């Protein structure tokens, strides 16, 4: 009986290649790690280069703005004395160029490393179980803990690369401070990688696991901001219980506290041990926090309603975040003039970033631009939900019925384009309420970002529709535009380089005059790319993996 079965169903090649474990790692870890690194061969390099590149560019941009020691000391004293600035960037521990670079971008580099880590770990654990691929792999010679080990090692590779590149990029400002900052960023990333590993055991879907870890990251940011706002020296208990606050406590370029690195390392080890214990106590695809079953009779009767049901959580989260972020930006807008102090170069940079009609309006315009670039990330993520539905084979049963591909895609695209407009309105409302500025002017400025947001969103539509296997490259396009908008004005990059980003063509509002031709052209480009992407979707086969 067994002979014919083996003859009809020969085991896959992976079964022969996976050998029982002869070392400390579970069986199959090596193969799964190589698979994870191959699948993330674009994601991890883009994130590591972007994070380390922004940090490495900070000393030059700060030196261009605050050229003398007196200007740097004045700016550091102002930032330390302003509670709203401490809440956003943390306290200043050193007025050296390296110390100011760590203050200005270190916290956000650690947060971005955490986001990269949670994406990598959830992608190779819970998402693999959700799509059924893990069940296929587990039928071979793969130990139960191998997928979790491979995911954590992939995250470790990314965070190690960040630490090395940050150290190399900032070593000119002092090797000790650069090494401390690189290790702080990398250790924070590993802490949230371990937190994502625990979340992947607790929740039943990759979306919930990412949301739970992202909520923990947001709570860490709020705790740190509250603590730093209360005390100028970072000694608040709220700062000490925040994982993002631990990175700050390393105090790069200010008599480094090397022992503070033990806090994220110990936390990561404890969470990793908890994740291994949980994964050994549950069945494959099961979770400790199972989702509630839906109603016996379905109430969703259209593709648009289904898209709203799938994406409403993300839309609510982004909207709430933009409202709070806008209020924070509006709150610190009044401190903009204090931040630049008497530095003429700083005023010129802020003018280039924001407009010509006053420093406060220029600061508000710069914040509106940042909100617009973040909203473009929402648009890309919303479009790529189509790609996820298709590759997970949830779209196939829908499209096998009378539902056409364009109607199916239209619901998600309406949320991508319309949702971006909604969160920009919420961000503008928060900005105006926080600052007490003219509400119509700020809302108009936020809506003026929509042509550029839609242009980047339409690039994702084109890639997904015409070249679905390259759809994740839309993140790289959005990342390049984000990096140009973040550091380009401060570095005074050539106009030809800045023009790569659609945001560089928009009017600087509020404070400037509306320029309709660029907005009309960008909207036309977005429309053309969207039509081309939908045409490609109609003509091609569905992607199953």
Residue 14 has a pLDDT of 44
Which of 431, 439, 408 lies closest to 305 in space, CA to CA? 408
Q: How far apart are CA 251 and CA 248, in angstroms?
A: 6
Q: pLDDT of 439-469, one tens digit each?
A: 888 888 899 999 999 999 999 999 999 988 8
- At 491, is the pLDDT very low, low, confident or very high (cuts 50, 70, 90)? low
CA 532 to chain CA centroid, Å, is 28
Residue 300 has a pLDDT of 78
Q: pLDDT of 336-348, one tens digit each?
A: 655 555 556 555 6
Residue 147 has a pLDDT of 92
Residue 453 has a pLDDT of 94
CA 182 to chain CA centroid, Å, is 19
pLDDT, mean of residues 113-133: 87
**Residue 242: pLDDT above 70?**
yes
SS3 annotation, 191-253: HHHHHHHHHHHHCCCHHHHHHHHHHHHHHHHHHHHHHHHHCCCCCCHHHHCCHHHHHHHCCCC
Q: What sign does the CA torsion over 231, 233, 239, 245 have?
A: positive
Residue 284 has a pLDDT of 82
Residue 486 has a pLDDT of 67
Q: How far apart are CA 143 and CA 134, in angstroms?
A: 11
CA distances from 404 to 12, 230, 399, 473, 542 (A): 36, 56, 6, 26, 13
Which of residues 113 and 295 earns the better pLDDT score? 113
117-121, 150-154, 229-233, 522-526: least confidently modelled range: 229-233
Provide the b/e sequence for 443-472 (b: ≥16 CB within 10 Å). bebbbbbbbbbbbbbbbbbbbbbbebeebb
Determine the 3-state secondary structure of 288 from DSSP. Answer: coil
Residue 410 has a pLDDT of 92
- At 3, is the pLDDT very low, low, confident or very high (cuts 50, 70, 90)? very low
Residue 158 has a pLDDT of 94
Q: How far apart are CA 247 and CA 241, in angstroms?
A: 11
CA angle 242, 244, 250 (to 5 degrees): 105
**Residue 374: pLDDT above 80?**
yes
Residue 335 has a pLDDT of 62
Burial (Cβ within 10 Å: 0-12, 13-18, ≥19) of residue 381:
buried
Determine the 3-state secondary structure of 478 from DSSP. Answer: helix
**Residue 140: pLDDT above 80?**
no
**Residue 298: pLDDT above 90?**
no
- E strand or H helix that includes residue 57: helix 43-65
Residue 163 has a pLDDT of 95
- At 490, is the pLDDT very low, low, confident or very high (cuts 50, 70, 90)? low
Determine the 3-state secondary structure of 499 from DSSP. Answer: coil
- E strand or H helix that includes residue 289: none
**Residue 152: pLDDT above 90?**
yes
Q: How far apart are CA 31 and CA 309, in angstroms?
A: 37
pTM: 0.76
Which of 469, 472, 462 lies closest to 543 in space, CA to CA? 469
| Most confidently modeled range among 133-142, 163-172, 277-286, 428-437 | 163-172
Which of 50, 64, 61 lies closest to 109 in space, CA to CA? 50
Asked if 457 contacts 478 with a C-beta cutoff of 8 angstroms, the reply is no
State what percent of residues in the chain have pLDDT above 90: 30
- At 258, is the pLDDT very low, low, confident or very high (cuts 50, 70, 90)? very high
Residue 337 has a pLDDT of 58
Which of 194, 191, 198 lies closest to 278 in space, CA to CA? 198
pLDDT, mean of residues 324-341: 70
Residue 194 has a pLDDT of 96
How many other β-carbons are positioned within 10 Å of the β-carbon of residue 19?
Answer: 11
Which of 440, 487, 468, 456 lies closest to 534 in space, CA to CA? 468
Q: pLDDT of 400-452, one tens digit each?
A: 888 888 999 999 999 999 999 999 999 999 888 887 767 888 888 899 999 99
| Most confidently modeled range among 70-84, 247-261, 315-329 | 247-261
Whether the ω angle into residue 296 lies within 30 degrees of 0, i.e. cis, is: no
pLDDT, mean of residues 301-322: 86
Q: In 334-358, where does DSSP find H-type helix? A: 336-340, 344-354
- At 544, is the pLDDT very low, low, confident or very high (cuts 50, 70, 90)? low
What is the maximum span of the chain, computed from C-alpha positions, in angstroms?
A: 88
User: Long-range contacts: 348-355, Cβ < 8 Å, 24+?
Assistant: 349/64, 349/65, 349/489, 349/490, 352/489, 352/492, 353/489, 353/490, 354/508, 354/511, 355/508, 355/509, 355/510, 355/511, 355/512
58-72, 87-101, 219-233, 330-344: least confidently modelled range: 330-344
How many other β-carbons are positioned within 10 Å of the β-carbon of residue 110?
Answer: 29
The DSSP call for residue 434 is H
Asked if 510 contacts 448 with a C-beta cutoff of 8 angstroms, the reply is no
Phi and psi of 514, rounded to 5°? -65, 135
Q: pLDDT of 196-232, one tens digit each?
A: 999 999 988 887 888 788 888 888 887 888 788 778 8
Asked if 32 contacts 142 with a C-beta cutoff of 8 angstroms, the reply is yes
- As a whole number, the mean pLDDT across the chain is 83
Q: Report the Cα–Cα distance between both ends of the chain, in Å, rounded.
A: 33
- E strand or H helix that includes residue 275: helix 262-279
Q: pLDDT of 8-44, one tens digit each?
A: 444 444 444 445 555 677 888 999 999 999 888 878 8
CA distances from 330 to 278, 335, 360, 485, 510 (A): 43, 10, 10, 19, 13
Phi and psi of 510, rounded to 5°? -80, 165
Residue 203 has a pLDDT of 87
Residue 353 has a pLDDT of 52
* Polymer length in residues for the chain: 545
């Amino acid at each position: 009986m067994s002979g014919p079965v083996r003859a009809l169903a020969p085991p896959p090649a992976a079964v022969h290649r996976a050998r029982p474990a002869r070392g400390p790692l579970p069986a199959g870890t090596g193969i799964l790690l190589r698979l994870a690194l191959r699948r993330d061969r674009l994601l991890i390099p883009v994130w590591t280069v972007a994070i380390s590149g922004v940090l490495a560019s900070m000393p030059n941009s700060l030196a261009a703005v605050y050229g003398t020691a007196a200007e740097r000391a004045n700016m550091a004293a102002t930032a330390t004395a302003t509670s709203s600035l401490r809440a956003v960037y943390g306290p200043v521990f050193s007025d050296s160029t390296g110390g100011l670079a760590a203050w200005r971008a270190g916290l956000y580099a650690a947060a971005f490393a955490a986001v990269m880590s949670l994406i990598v770990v959830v992608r190779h654990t819970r998402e693999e179980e959700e799509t059924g691929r893990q069940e296929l792999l587990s039928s071979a010679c793969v130990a139960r803990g191998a997928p979790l080990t491979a995911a954590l090692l992939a995250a470790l590779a990314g965070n190690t690369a960040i630490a090395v590149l940050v150290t190399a990029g900032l070593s000119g400002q002092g090797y000790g401070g650069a090494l401390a900052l690189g290790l702080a960023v990398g250790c924070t990333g590993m802490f949230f990688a371990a937190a994502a590993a625990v979340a992947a055991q607790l929740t039943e879907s990759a979306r919930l696991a990412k949301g739970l870890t992202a909520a923990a990251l947001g709570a860490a940011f709020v705790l740190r901001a509250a603590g730093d706002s209360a005390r100028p020296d970072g000694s608040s208990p709220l700062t000490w219980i925040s994982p993002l606050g631990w990175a700050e406590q390393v105090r790069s370029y200010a008599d480094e506290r090397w022992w503070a690195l033990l806090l994220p390392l110990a936390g990561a080890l404890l969470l990793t041990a908890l994740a291994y214990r949980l994964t050994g106590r549950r069945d494959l695809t099961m979770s400790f926090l199972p989702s509630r079953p839906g109603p016996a009779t379905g109430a969703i009767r259209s593709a648009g309603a289904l898209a709203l049901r799938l994406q409403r959580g993300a839309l609510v989260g982004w909207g709430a975040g933009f409202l709070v972020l806008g209020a924070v930006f509006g709150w610190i807008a009044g401190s903009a003039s204090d931040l630049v102090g008497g530095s003429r170069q700083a005023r010129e940079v802020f003018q280039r970033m924001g407009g010509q009609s006053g420093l406060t309006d220029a600061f508000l315009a710069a914040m509106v631009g940042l909100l617009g670039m973040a909203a473009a990330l929402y648009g890309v993520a919303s479009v790529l939900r189509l790609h996820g539905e298709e590759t997970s084979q949830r779209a196939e049963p829908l499209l096998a019925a009378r539902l056409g591909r364009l109607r199916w895609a239209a619901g998600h695209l309406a949320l991508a384009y319309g949702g971006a407009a909604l969160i920009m309105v919420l961000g503008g409302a928060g900005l105006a309420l926080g600052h007490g500025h003219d509400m119509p002017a700020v809302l108009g400025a936020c809506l003026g970002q929509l042509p550029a947001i839609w242009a980047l969103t339409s690039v994702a539509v084109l890639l997904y529709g015409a070249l679905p296997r390259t759809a994740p490259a839309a993140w790289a396009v959005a990342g390049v535009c984000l990096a140009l908008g973040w550091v380009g004005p401060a570095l005074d990059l050539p106009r030809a380089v800045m023009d790569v980003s659609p945001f560089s063509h928009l009017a600087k509002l509020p404070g400037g005059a509306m320029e309709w031709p660029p907005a009309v052209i960008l909207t036309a480009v977005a429309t053309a790319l969207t039509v081309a992407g939908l045409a490609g979707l109609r003509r091609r086969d569905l992607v199953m993996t």
